């Protein structure tokens, strides 16, 4: 980040926030060396390569593709993105088939990336980036980094951001096709990177926050089923929401947006005195809603929810004492600095029919919660999550939390491995009857690795590990296709 950008970022609002949240700053040099590789730059697309099997054995008959997305270009010509969330999206395709694994990766060809390539400077504003000289912003998609997740809807691979349109990609070549417009009057509408997908392929999503949020419902064939504003009584920022079979659940943290300015995060204020409010909305009648009050917490990610026969609603997520990570620490990463932020903790939320809400803490550090998507909306027992937060800003372990026994089935990859989100790949019908598939960045080997674990025996470690020829920066989210 240039001094100018940094000054601007640190200036408005955040100094006040910093005074409250008192970040404990440590330089990267004090941590196990090299974590900055997780936020390094990739300059070109990665042609398909066969990954080297470094340990284990490939389960026979496994045929699956893991698409992952994450920012992979942060710096150009002496300028830099102001935040981890603002780098250019690199979509990666890991495929295991016929006993072999391959990797290909391609940047999403966005207007932002084209402009910044031409100027050889990072200029477009974003979540934590200020506007640079030559920035052009005539709508949200001009700043769309398409870097947060991917989904396949109606057979179409979409790269997702949250403030603008999904981007259509060719699922084989990863070539960018263009912004997805569901209807002309819905161009440039925000579309969160965390759609909730019912087992039949119906997609629910939200976009934008303020006096309302925009609700999207897509049919299993990818066509638009419904699109409308849903009023909200609080302008909370949210990166994710969740759903049960019958309800949408919007968690309104007291990290609220006061007006609009770039960087977006500088318009967001932490107001813990407001507490956290949970809104439960009937999928079949969006005017039917119930409100639940909880103590203040900050969060990014939730897992799928479900209803019980008496009407109790449960879902889980990873919550933080305050949003220091999103406000400060995730910016500092790009400068090679590690600001210690509150550790995200796995928590189950219980919304009772009498209007009371509770939080049940698993008491384990956790992020990137994932679950068996075949059971979306149904009661389940397990939540997969990254864990093992130590000296670096990134986790070192993967685990499956068992809500009924209250224990983690965990494998620690070690200090030299940065662990990314792992997703469930079903084999049989049972909730853990399948694999956990995910990636790590091996700092010692300086290579990205793909791992497959038995979901029933996570502590045993990978049943197969493949290694790429190069290190790729860390991803956020992905999908199994």
Dist CA 93 CA 174 (whole Å): 8
Smallest gap from residue 134 Cβ to another protein (A): 10
Which of 184-192, 276-284, 363-371, 408-416 is the region at the interface with another protein (rule: CB under 8 A)?
184-192
Smallest gap from residue 149 Cβ to another protein (A): 21
259 binds another protein (CB under 8 A): no
59-62 LR contacts (CB < 8 Å, sep 24+): 59/435, 59/452, 59/463, 59/464, 60/99, 62/96, 62/97, 62/425, 62/435, 62/452
| Element housing 465 (H / E) | strand 464-467
Which of 14-22, 100-108, 187-195, 286-294 is the region at the interface with another protein (rule: CB under 8 A)?
187-195
Residues of span 31-90 touching another protein by CB under 8 A = none
Q: Binding another protein by CB under 8 A: which of 14, 17, 72, 135?
A: 135
Total number of residues that touch another protein (CB under 8 A): 16
Query: What is residue 95's three-state secondary structure?
Result: strand
Dist CA 116 CA 53 (whole Å): 37
Q: Binding another protein by CB under 8 A: which of 58, 186, 245, 379?
A: 186
Nearer to another protein, 179 or 401 (CB): 179
Place of tokens 């506007």: 131
Structure tokens at 71: 């920012």
309 binds another protein (CB under 8 A): no
Query: What is residue 268's three-state secondary structure?
Result: strand
Point out which residues pair with 22 in neighbouring strands: none
Nearer to another protein, 181 or 391 (CB): 181
Place of tokens 């240039």: 2
Indicate the pairing of strand 100-107 with strand 247-252: unpaired
Compute CA distances 248 → 17, 299, 357, whole Å: 31, 17, 16
187 binds another protein (CB under 8 A): yes
Nearer to another protein, 77 or 134 (CB): 134
Structure tokens at 244: 């049960």
Q: Binding another protein by CB under 8 A: which of 54, 137, 225, 245?
A: 137
Q: Binding another protein by CB under 8 A: which of 229, 291, 361, 470?
A: 229
Dist CA 13 CA 141 (whole Å): 25
208 binds another protein (CB under 8 A): yes
Indicate the pairing of strand 149-153 with strand 156-160: antiparallel
Q: Binding another protein by CB under 8 A: which of 161, 179, 214, 389?
A: 214
Smallest gap from residue 300 Cβ to another protein (A): 23
Asked if 458 and 399 count as a contact pair (C-beta separation under 8 A), the reply is: yes
Smallest gap from residue 165 Cβ to another protein (A): 10
Nearer to another protein, 186 or 296 (CB): 186
238 binds another protein (CB under 8 A): no
188 binds another protein (CB under 8 A): yes
The count of other CB atoms within 10 Å of the CB of residue 333 is 23
* Sheet bearing 407-412, strands edge to edge: 367-370, 382-389, 395-402, 407-412
Smallest gap from residue 185 Cβ to another protein (A): 6
179 binds another protein (CB under 8 A): no
Smallest gap from residue 135 Cβ to another protein (A): 7
Smallest gap from residue 311 Cβ to another protein (A): 33
Contact positions vs another protein (CB under 8 A): 135-140, 184-190, 208, 214, 229
């Amino acid at each position: 980040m240039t001094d100018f950008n940094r000054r601007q970022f640190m200036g408005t609002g955040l100094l006040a926030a910093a005074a409250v949240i008192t970040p404990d700053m440590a330089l990267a040099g004090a941590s196990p060396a090299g974590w900055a590789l997780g936020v390094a730059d990739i300059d070109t697309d990665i042609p398909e390569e066969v990954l080297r099997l470094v340990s284990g054995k490939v389960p026979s008959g496994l045929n699956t593709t893991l698409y992952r997305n994450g920012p992979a270009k942060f710096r150009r010509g002496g300028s830099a993105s102001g935040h981890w969330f603002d780098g250019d999206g690199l979509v990666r395709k890991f495929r295991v088939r016929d006993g072999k694994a391959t990797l290909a990766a391609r940047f999403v060809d966005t207007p932002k990336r084209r402009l910044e390539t031409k100027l050889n400077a990072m200029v477009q504003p974003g979540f934590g980036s200020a506007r640079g000289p030559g920035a052009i912003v005539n709508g949200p998609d001009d700043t769309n980094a398409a870097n947060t997740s991917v989904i396949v809807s109606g057979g179409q691979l979409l790269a997702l951001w949250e403030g603008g349109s999904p981007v259509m990609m060719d699922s084989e070549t990863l070539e960018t096709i263009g912004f997805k417009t569901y209807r002309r009057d819905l161009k440039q509408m925000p579309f969160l990177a965390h759609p909730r997908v019912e087992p039949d392929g119906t997609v629910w999503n939200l976009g934008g926050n303020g006096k309302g949020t925009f609700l999207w419902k897509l049919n299993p064939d990818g066509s638009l089923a419904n699109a409308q504003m849903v009023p909200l009584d609080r302008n909370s920022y949210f990166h994710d929401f969740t759903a049960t079979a019958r309800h949408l659940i919007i968690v309104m943290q007291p990290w609220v947006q006061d007006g609009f300015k770039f960087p977006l995060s500088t318009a967001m204020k932490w107001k813990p005195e407001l507490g956290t409010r949970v809104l439960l909305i009937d999928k079949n009648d969006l005017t039917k809603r119930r409100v639940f009050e909880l103590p203040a917490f900050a969060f990014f990610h939730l897992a799928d929810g479900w209803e019980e026969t008496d009407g109790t609603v449960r879902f889980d997520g990873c919550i933080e004492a305050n949003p220091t990570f999103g406000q400060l620490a995730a910016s500092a990463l790009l400068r090679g600095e590690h600001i210690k932020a509150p550790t995200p903790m796995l928590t189950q939320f219980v919304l009772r029919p009498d209007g009371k809400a509770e939080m049940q803490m698993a008491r384990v550090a956790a992020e990137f919660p994932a679950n068996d998507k075949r059971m979306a909306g149904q009661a389940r027992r397990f939540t997969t999550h990254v864990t093992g937060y130590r000296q670096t800003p990134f986790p070192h372990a993967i685990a499956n939390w068992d809500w009924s026994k209250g224990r983690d089935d965990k494998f620690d990859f070690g200090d030299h491995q940065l662990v990314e989100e792992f997703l469930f790949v079903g084999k049989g019908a049972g909730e853990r009857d399948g694999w956990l598939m995910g990636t790590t960045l091996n700092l010692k080997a300086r290579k990205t690795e793909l791992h497959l674990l038995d979901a029933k025996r996570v502590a045993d470690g990978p049943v197969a590990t493949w290694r790429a020829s190069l290190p790729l920066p860390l991803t956020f989210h992905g999908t199994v296709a």
